[in-house]
Amino acid sequence: MAEGLPVAMMIVAPRFKDALALRVAQAYETARGAFPTPPGV
């Protein structure tokens, strides 16, 4: 990722499939690891 630049990702799923979007987000976070807290926050 670019140092110091904002990063965003949008996860979408079909209507009424919120659980699917949450599973995808959880899988991504597990694979990538949590983002560190920025200094001074």
Q: CB-hemisphere CA count at 13 Å for 15?
A: 0
pLDDT at 37: 81
Q: CB-hemisphere CA count at 13 Å for 14?
A: 0
Model-level pTM?
A: 0.66
- Residue 34 has a CB neighbour count (10 Å cut-off) of 7
pLDDT per residue over 1-41, tens digit each? Answer: 567 777 789 999 999 999 999 999 999 999 988 778 878 87
pLDDT at 4: 73
pLDDT at 2: 63
pLDDT at 1: 56
Kindly state the tokens that stand for 3: 């140092």
The 3 state secondary structure assigned to 1-41 is CCCCCCCCCCCCCCCCCHHHHHHHHHHHHHHHCCCCCCCCC
pLDDT at 28: 92
pLDDT at 40: 84
